[in-house]
Amino acid sequence: MRAKRKIVLAALLAAAGMGISQVSAGEMTLVTWGGAYKASQQEAFVKPFIAKTGHKVLIEDYSGGLAQIRAQVKTGKVTWDVVDLELQDALRACDEGLLERIDAKDLEPSSDGTTAANDYMSGAIDGCTVGNNMWANVVAYDSTKFSGAAPKTIADFFDVKKFPGKRGMKKSPKANLEWALIADGVPPGEIYKVLGTPAGIDRAFRKLDTIKPYVVWWEAGAQAPQLLADGEVVMTSAYNGRIEDAIGREKKPFVIIWDGQIPVFETFGIVKGTKNLATAREFVRFATTPRALADMAKQIPYGPLRKSALALMAPDVRSRLPSTPENMKTAIPINAVWWADNLDDLNQRFSVWLTR
């Protein structure tokens, strides 16, 4: 795990400008992913929250997982307040009693009065955490590599005869098993029913066998677009934000295939036993308003999980987000509970499969 960095955002100027009493100002620590993701939350959530409330917010980077949260709660030495968690980890944390409860009724409704519970996408509120955005596992290709028909589906990704060339894939069973079954003809809504049987898992690995000799494996998110840019692969699985960044900032001729995208929800959880509970709840309410979520999506192409937030965005921005109805048409609804229960076993099997 890389070294953690703390960034303290001072509230003094905001407080002076708004007449906020520093005596009443609180303090909290937000723990989140680094890089452009953290920067987007800093601009969309943290700075406006400080300006509005006068609270002090510290931002700390981490690399995911629950080990540090478990240790803090177990020892009673809680130093983290609000943590950005992938839904899979959020569900486990909730089951283990590591998080405070979050009531959907305490979240801000949309401007037309729609409650947060009815405004959020299904599965984005679970009682312990509340969603803030979603990114997606997608397939992307270099448009200069195909002079005729271009790939459009997950099945095309697995078709090395029709679309020859190397493929990039993340070195993980997650997403790859789902895509293998999609390419083998399983409807999106039946993926986890099939994976729920030993025969179904065998079927997914057999489909992966057909593409294995053509795969260049990657592990860090930045590697996927780099493989495309270097011409090492003609198609790759990737995180949608990485590809969008390469398209927008570097002007790369890449195209995202939204077919079979696998969304991943990011959520806010409040660590059990925090001494800054009131401030943490205030922050979560602020950071999950439709306006704040829309502002984050303008900073980074991850989709807000509230429908009303999408309505606040310009069409050209909205079209690049994974959470729009158009891009979600053939999405695979990831089963975070299933992965939470099976990830360890499948990681082991995947590692053995790689060596065969």
Per-residue pLDDT of the chain (356 residues; tens, 9 = 90+): 344 444 444 433 333 343 433 435 799 999 999 888 999 999 999 999 999 999 999 999 998 999 999 999 999 999 999 999 999 899 999 999 999 999 999 999 999 999 999 999 988 998 899 999 999 999 999 999 998 899 999 999 999 999 999 999 999 999 999 999 999 999 998 999 999 999 999 999 999 999 999 999 999 888 999 999 999 999 999 999 889 989 988 999 999 999 999 999 999 999 999 999 999 999 999 999 999 999 999 999 999 999 999 999 999 889 999 999 999 999 998 888 898 889 999 999 999 999 99
Angle between the N-to-C axes of helices 277-287 and 290-299, in degrees from 0 to 180, rounded to the nearest 10? 70
**Whole-prediction pTM value?**
0.82
Do the beta carbons of residue 237 and residue 178 sit within 8 Å? no
| The pLDDT of residue 22 | 41
- What CATH superfamily classification does 135-264+329-355 receive? Periplasmic binding protein-like II (3.40.190.10)
- CATH 3.40.190.10 residue ranges for the chain: 6-134+265-318, 135-264+329-355
Burial (CB < 10 A; 0-12, 13-18, 19+), residue 43, is middle
C-alpha–C-alpha distance, residues 6 and 58, integer Å: 6
Nearest to 140 by CA among 127, 148, 152: 152
Burial (CB < 10 A; 0-12, 13-18, 19+), residue 28, is buried
6-134+265-318 is a CATH 3.40.50.620 domain: no
